[in-house]
C-alpha cells in the first residue's frame, strides 16, 4: 500500500522591534536573566498594556508581501493557560480577527518546478519567558527568565499544502527570506527568532480524507525539520500498517540526540477560554496607512532573484539560492562589487563559504570571512595569481583570521607561476630529467598516451612546489610531447 504525506506549518516569527509588544522593555537578545522585564511583563496588578505600533506595521508588511487581505480591524484576545514562564496566566494573542488574512507563498523546488502554498492567516501575539534548568549532582534548580516575555511575534499558519520534507523546508526558507528581506525579523534561528511547528499526517495514496495529524513543536533548524518530518512519516505509516491508529498529539524532536517523543495528547481540544482582551482596543488600520507601508516595501526575494539573473547573468537556480536569504544576498553583492566577477563570487558564496558556515552553525551575517575579504580572494583566483587548490588554503587562512588574501599569499609564498617562459623551462627540465618516461610515452600507442600525461604533470607540479598554473602546464606539456612524436 502506498501513502501520501500531508504537512502544514505554523511558524513563530519574532519581530525585530526595539521594545516589547505591550511594554517599553528592551527585546535585545542575550542579556542577564530578568534585566529586561518591566512591571507589565511581570503582570503586576494595575499595569496596562500599550500596543507597539511598529509591531503592527511589521505584521502588515508581512501581509502585503504575501498578497494577503489585511485585517483593517483586528482584535486581541486572551488565551488562558498556566505556564510557569508566563506570569499573566494567559497569552495575549489574536483568534477571530487576525491582522493578516489569507495569502499565498510560492516555493521553488529542486527539480525546477514551483508550487503555491496557501497561508490561512497570520496573527500578532506575545512570546512567553523561558524556564532555565540548571544545576549539577548536588543541586538541581529551575529558574524563570522573563526577558523574552512580551516579545512581539507573528504566528504564520499555512494550509496543509505541502506533501514532503523538501517542500516544507523550501516553504520555511521562503518565509525566512521574506521576513528578513522585509527587515521585520533578524532571522537568527539559533537564537529562536524563528521557530517552526510541523503538522504531519499520512493517508492512503489518492484518498480525499486527511489523516489524523501530529504536531512537532519548536524546530529551529531546517536540518532538524527535515529529519523530524521523515521520521514522523515513517512512524505513522508503521503504526497504521501494524493495525494501530495515530493519536492526535503534540510531539518533540531533539535534533542533537535524534530522539522523538510525545509531549502531550491533543485528543480533547484544550479549552483555552479565549475572550476579547478588555485592556486593549481593537486595532484599526486605515487604507492610507496600508498604502504607505505598501509604497515602502523593500525588495522581496522573488524580485531580487529576477534582478540577479538580469544584472549578474546568474542562472535561475543560483540567483534563487543567493536571493532567498537577505543576508546572503547582501553578502553576495558586496563580494561581487569587491571583485567584479559575479559568477566566481556566486560560486564561492554558495560553495566553500556556505558549507563552512553551515558546518560551524554560524549565520552569514556573522561570517568570520568578510565579503571584502572573499572579494579579495576571488580577485586573485580570477587573475590567475593562485590556483583553485591554493585558493582553498588561502580561504582557510582568512577564516582563521590571518588577514586578507594578499597578506596570506605573500606570507605563505603561495603565488602561482603563470609566466609562460618560466613554465616552458620547467616542463623542458622535467622532460630532460625523465628520458625513460619520454621514450615510453613515444612508443605507446595513441589511445593510451593520454593516461601517461598525468605522470608528467605530477612531476612538474612537484618541481614547482604546487605553484605552476596547471592549465598552462597542461598545454605546454601536450605541445612539447607532441613535437617529439
Ligand atoms: P488547530 O485549530 O487545532 O490549531 P488548525 O486547523 O488551525 O488546527 O491547523 C493547524 C495547522 O495544522 C495548520 O498549519 C494546518 O495546515 C495543519 N493541518 C491541519 N490538518 C492537518 C492534517 N490532517 N495533516 C497535516 N497538517 C494539518
Ligand atoms: Mg491553530
**pLDDT number for residue 38:** 96
Residue with the three cell numbers 498594556: 49
Percent of the chain with pLDDT over 90: 75
CB 220 within 8 A of CB 184: no
pLDDT band, very low/low/confident/very high, at 464 (cuts 50, 70, 90) = confident
Q: Does residue 199 line the site of ligand 1, with CB under 6 A?
A: yes
Ligand having the closest approach to the CA of 95: 2
Q: Is 96 helix (H, G, I), strand (E, B) or coil?
A: coil
pLDDT band, very low/low/confident/very high, at 267 (cuts 50, 70, 90) = low
Q: Does residue 99 line the site of ligand 1, with CB under 6 A?
A: no
**pLDDT number for residue 269:** 56
In which residue ranges of the chain is CATH 1.10.10.410 found?
420-484
Whether the predicted model's global pTM rises above the 0.85 cut: no
Q: Does residue 6 line the site of ligand 1, with CB under 6 A?
A: yes
Q: What is the position in ligand 1's atom list of the atom closest to the CA of 215? A: 12
Has residue 87 got a pLDDT over 70? Answer: yes
> Per-residue pLDDT averaged across 446-464, rounded?
85
Q: Which CATH class name applies to 420-484?
A: mainly alpha
**pLDDT number for residue 449:** 82
CB 46 within 8 A of CB 166: no
Query: How many Å lie between the centroid of ligand 1 and the Cα of residue 300?
Result: 28
C-alpha grid cell, residue 198: 510541523
> Per-residue pLDDT averaged across 132-145, rounded?
81
Q: Does residue 160 line the site of ligand 1, with CB under 6 A?
A: yes
Query: How many Å lie between the centroid of ligand 2 and the Cα of residue 120?
Result: 10
> Per-residue pLDDT averaged across 151-156, rounded?
98
Q: Does residue 158 line the site of ligand 1, with CB under 6 A?
A: yes
**pLDDT number for residue 484:** 85
Q: Does residue 4 line the site of ligand 1, with CB under 6 A?
A: no
**Integer CA distances (angstroms), 239 to 162, 164, 197, 417, in order:** 22, 19, 22, 64
Amino acid at each position: 500500500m502506498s501513502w501520501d504525506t500531508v504537512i502544514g506549518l505554523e511558524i513563530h516569527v519574532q519581530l525585530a522591534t526595539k521594545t516589547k509588544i505591550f511594554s517599553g522593555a528592551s527585546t535585545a537578545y542575550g542579556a542577564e536573566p530578568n534585566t529586561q522585564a518591566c512591571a507589565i511583563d511581570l503582570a503586576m496588578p494595575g499595569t496596562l498594556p500599550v500596543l507597539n505600533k511598529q509591531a503592527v506595521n511589521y505584521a502588515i508588511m508581512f501581509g502585503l508581501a504575501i498578497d494577503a487581505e489585511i485585517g483593517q480591524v483586528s482584535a486581541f484576545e486572551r488565551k488562558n493557560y498556566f505556564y510557569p514562564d508566563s506570569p499573566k496566566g494567559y497569552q495575549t494573542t489574536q483568534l477571530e480577527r487576525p491582522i493578516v488574512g489569507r495569502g499565498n507563498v510560492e516555493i521553488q523546488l529542486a527539480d525546477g518546478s514551483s508550487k503555491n502554498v496557501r497561508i490561512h492567516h497570520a496573527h500578532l501575539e506575545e512570546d512567553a519567558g523561558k524556564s532555565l534548568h540548571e544545576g549539577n549532582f548536588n543541586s538541581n534548580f529551575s529558574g524563570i527568565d522573563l526577558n523574552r516575555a512580551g516579545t512581539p511575534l507573528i504566528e504564520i499558519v499555512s494550509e496543509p499544502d505541502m506533501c514532503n520534507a523538501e517542500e516544507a523546508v523550501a516553504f520555511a526558507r521562503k518565509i525566512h527570506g521574506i521576513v528578513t528581506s522585509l527587515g521585520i525579523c533578524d532571522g537568527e534561528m539559533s537564537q529562536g527568532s524563528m521557530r517552526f511547528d510541523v503538522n504531519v499526517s499520512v493517508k492512503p495514496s489518492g484518498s480525499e480524507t486527511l489523516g489524523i495529524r501530529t504536531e512537532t513543536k519548536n524546530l529551529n533548524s531546517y536540518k532538524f525539520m527535515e529529519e523530524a518530518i521523515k521520521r514522523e512519516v515513517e512512524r505513522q505509516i508503521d503504526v497504521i500498517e501494524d493495525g494501530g491508529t495515530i493519536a492526535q498529539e503534540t510531539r518533540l524532536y531533539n535534533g542533537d540526540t535524534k530522539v522523538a517523543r510525545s509531549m502531550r495528547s491533543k485528543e480533547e481540544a484544550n479549552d483555552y477560554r479565549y475572550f476579547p482582551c478588555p485592556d486593549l482596543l481593537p486595532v484599526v488600520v486605515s487604507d492610507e496607512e496600508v498604502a504607505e507601508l505598501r509604497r515602502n516595501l523593500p525588495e522581496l526575494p522573488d524580485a531580487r532573484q529576477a534582478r540577479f539573473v538580469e544584472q549578474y547573468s546568474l542562472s535561475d537556480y543560483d540567483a534563487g539560492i543567493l536571493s532567498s536569504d537577505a543576508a546572503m544576498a547582501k553578502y553576495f553583492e558586496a563580494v561581487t562589487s569587491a571583485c567584479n566577477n559575479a559568477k566566481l563570487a556566486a560560486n564561492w558564496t554558495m560553495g566553500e563559504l556556505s558549507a563552512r558556515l553551515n558546518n560551524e552553525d554560524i549565520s552569514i551575517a556573522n561570517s568570520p570571512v568578510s565579503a571584502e575579504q572573499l572579494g579579495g580572494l576571488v580577485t586573485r583566483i580570477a587573475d590567475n595569481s593562485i590556483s583553485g587548490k591554493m585558493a582553498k588554503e588561502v580561504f582557510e587562512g582568512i577564516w582563521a583570521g590571518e588577514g586578507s588574501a594578499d597578506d596570506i599569499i605573500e606570507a605563505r609564498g603561495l603565488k602561482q607561476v603563470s609566466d609562460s617562459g618560466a613554465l616552458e623551462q620547467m616542463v623542458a627540465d622535467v622532460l630532460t630529467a625523465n628520458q625513460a618516461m619520454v621514450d615510453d610515452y613515444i612508443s605507446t600507442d595513441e589511445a593510451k598516451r593520454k593516461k601517461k600525461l598525468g605522470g608528467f604533470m605530477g612531476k612538474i607540479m612537484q618541481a614547482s612546489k604546487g605553484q605552476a598554473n596547471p592549465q598552462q602546464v597542461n598545454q605546454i606539456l601536450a605541445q612539447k610531447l607532441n613535437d617529439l612524436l
